[in-house]
Amino acid sequence: MTPSFSYHLLAFVFGAIIGSFLNVLIHRMPQGEDFVFRPSHCPYCQKKIRWFENVPILSFIMLRGRCSNCQKQISWRYPIVEILGGAMAIFLLPSAFSRYEILIFLAYFAVFSIFVVHFFIDLKHQILPDSLNGILAVIFLALTIFKHDWPFWLSGLLLGAGFPLLVTWLFYLLRGQVGLGGGDIKLFGALGIFLGPVGIIQNVFLSCALGSVVGITLILLKKMKKETPIPFGPFIIIVSFIQIFFPALLFSIFPP
């Protein structure tokens, strides 16, 4: 086994384990459940999950996607998030293992982790937890403060929170409906710290465009009614993920 393979394997295992914990957050945070001390349990029959039934990815395969006690179907989200965690850990794996490189790896992996939790929670419950937005803002500030002068991140923060807030206010005046939730606006603000004024405006417009395309498509396919609210967070997350982790892809479509 070569050192390179060993590092990648360890990174995948690390990411999959974190992915398993992210699944716990996704399930428990919206319900206000303790996600630190309460043992893992089946969400249907509440039976405690034994350690060998809680191995990332492998347990889902061995259990054939069902609870060993009540035989209820386990969501495919669990192995998907664990695989994504493992793959992202490999993608972010630093070439050197200095203290600085490890801190950067952990910071960006934390950003990815919050994106995943935000995506699935908002998709099902249409909420973006304030605590996660706060942590995201702190991480982005730590990553940005030494690379850019304060006008960059401060203007990004103000535009990120202010512009969507203005649009939401105008939408309410015209339609009598709330366009964006508070969590969306706070997420835009946190992203603005890292993306800066140009990047966050780009994010707002691309997120709106993506959301509009998906919404119109679902309405035309009669999968959703015109009045049905659609969570906006996942679209923000998708665009942000590309901007942060695959900027070259975005620049190839929209040159700076």
Q: Using CA atoms of 165, 250, 104, 29 in order, give the dihedral in degrees to the nearest 10.
A: 50
Which DSSP string do the residues of 118-186 spell out, in sequence order?
HHHHHHHH----HHHHHHHHHHHHHHHTTTS-HHHHHHHHHHHHHHHHHHHHHHHHHHSS--S-HHHHH
Would you state the pLDDT for residue 48?
Answer: 87
Among 218, 219, 191, CA closest to 204: 191
Q: pLDDT by residue (tens digit) across 118-152?
A: 999 999 999 999 999 999 999 999 999 988 898 99
Among 182, 187, 195, CA closest to 134: 187
Tokens representing 168 are: 């939401």
Q: pLDDT by residue (tens digit) across 211-235?
A: 889 988 988 888 888 777 888 999 9
| Whole-prediction pTM | 0.91
The pLDDT-based confidence of 174 (bands split at 50, 70, 90) is low
Supply the Cα-derived Rg of the chain in whole angstroms. 20
Q: Which residues pair with 41 in a beta bridge?
A: 48
CA-to-CA distance for 117 and 119, rounded, in angstroms? 5
Scanning the structure block, which residue is given the tokens 């691309």? 206
- Would you give the distance in Å from CA 109 to the centre of its chain? 11
The pLDDT-based confidence of 173 (bands split at 50, 70, 90) is low
Q: pLDDT by residue (tens digit) across 82-114?
A: 999 999 999 999 887 888 999 999 999 999 999
Q: Where are the beta strands (DSSP E) in the chain?
A: none
Among 242, 236, 233, CA closest to 129: 233
More confident residue, 51 or 233: 233
Encoded amino acid at 57, one letter: I
Which DSSP helix (H) or strand (E) runs through 90? Answer: helix 77-92
More confident residue, 167 or 98: 98
Which 3 state secondary structure label does DSSP give 95?
A: coil
pLDDT (average), residues 230-249: 93
pLDDT tops 70 at residue 29:
yes
Report the percent of the chain where pLDDT is more than 70.
93
pLDDT (average), residues 168-188: 75
Tokens representing 126 are: 């249409």
Which 3 state secondary structure label does DSSP give 44?
A: coil
Which 3 state secondary structure label does DSSP give 37?
A: coil
pLDDT (average), residues 41-66: 88
Average pLDDT, the chain: 89
More confident residue, 123 or 174: 123
pLDDT (average), residues 182-206: 93
Would you state the pLDDT for residue 3?
Answer: 53
Would you state the pLDDT for residue 254?
Answer: 63
Q: Using CA atoms of 206, 207, 213, 214 in order, give the dihedral in degrees to the nearest 10.
A: 150
The pLDDT-based confidence of 1 (bands split at 50, 70, 90) is very low
